[in-house]
Amino acid sequence: MHSQLAPGITRIATSKRDNAFLVEGDDGFTLVDVGWSKAPGALLHTVADLGRRPSDIRRVILTHAHPDHVQGAAELRRHTGAHILIHDADRAWLEAGRVPAQGRSGAIGRLIDHLPKLHWAPTTADGIVSDGDMVEGSDGLRVIHTPGHSPGHIVLLHEPSRTILMGDAAFNRGKLAIGPAALAADPDLRLGSLARIPQDLQAVGFAHGVPLAGSEVHTFQQFLQQLPRES
């Protein structure tokens, strides 16, 4: 299932709960996140629906190295030849094929990371992105480093459409939220990271939950404004 979130941005539901985003650029598509191991099927199906070829996905940019975002990445690269990009602070996790013990602040997080179904094929990054970078070839996708959920978590601002793709920096499953602290690497960093997100937006995409567009974006701006300030 897919739908247009903003001009040049297609939201793809890779499962009932998870979204990836296809961004049209100068040289083809930049895919933001992949999903679980079954996600490549849905992603390639959407590309075909749009009348395009798998090789039109030129690069994959991962918001962070958690299994629900990266598990399908190696297989998608095999089908498309896309380059995989990630922030340097999450690169070792991507290449290890699992979240390490220090990657979650709470015992529950560390416990679930022992489950083999939350591991993935160790995946080499083809490139690294940093705060402030414009993703090459993406036609206007800007990297904002938002550590907390993971050390190398990023959100992506599509400048031409003023659309922000939030990864797991915020969730919109029923209501807007920052997610369980136990699953975050350093939960205390999350508020400072959210404070870095611009508020002049036309659309907001979440890796988990319902996107917001047009007048709905107001609820996201209110959510950002009402978060407690860091001391």
Positions that interact with Zn ion (CB under 5 A): 66, 68, 168, 207
CB of residue 100 vs Zn ion: minimum separation in angstroms?
Answer: 14
CB of residue 149 vs Zn ion: minimum separation in angstroms?
Answer: 5
Name the residue among 20, 17, 46 with its Cα closest to residue 35: 20
**Nearest position to Zn ion, beta carbon:** 66
For Zn ion, the closer of residues 8 and 152 by Cβ is 152
For Zn ion, the closer of residues 25 and 152 by Cβ is 152
Name the residue among 25, 17, 45, 21 with its Cα closest to residue 33: 21
CB of residue 21 vs Zn ion: minimum separation in angstroms?
Answer: 13
Distance CA 216, CA 118 (A): 33
Distance CA 7, CA 164 (A): 13
For Zn ion, the closer of residues 86 and 207 by Cβ is 207
CB of residue 203 vs Zn ion: minimum separation in angstroms?
Answer: 19
For Zn ion, the closer of residues 18 and 133 by Cβ is 18
* b (16+ CB within 10 A) / e for 74-95: bbbbebbebbbbbbebbbebbe
> How far is the CA of 203 from the CAs of 43, 71, 200, in angstroms?
21, 27, 10
For Zn ion, the closer of residues 58 and 208 by Cβ is 208
CB of residue 194 vs Zn ion: minimum separation in angstroms?
Answer: 15
Q: 3-class DSSP state for residue 185?
A: coil
CB of residue 51 vs Zn ion: minimum separation in angstroms?
Answer: 30
Name the residue among 19, 107, 34 with its Cα closest to residue 66: 34
For Zn ion, the closer of residues 157 and 169 by Cβ is 169
Distance CA 230, CA 106 (A): 21
Contact criterion met (CB below 8 Å) for 152 and 89:
yes
For Zn ion, the closer of residues 64 and 158 by Cβ is 64
Task: Give the β-pairing of 203-205 and 163-165.
Answer: parallel
CB of residue 69 vs Zn ion: minimum separation in angstroms?
Answer: 6
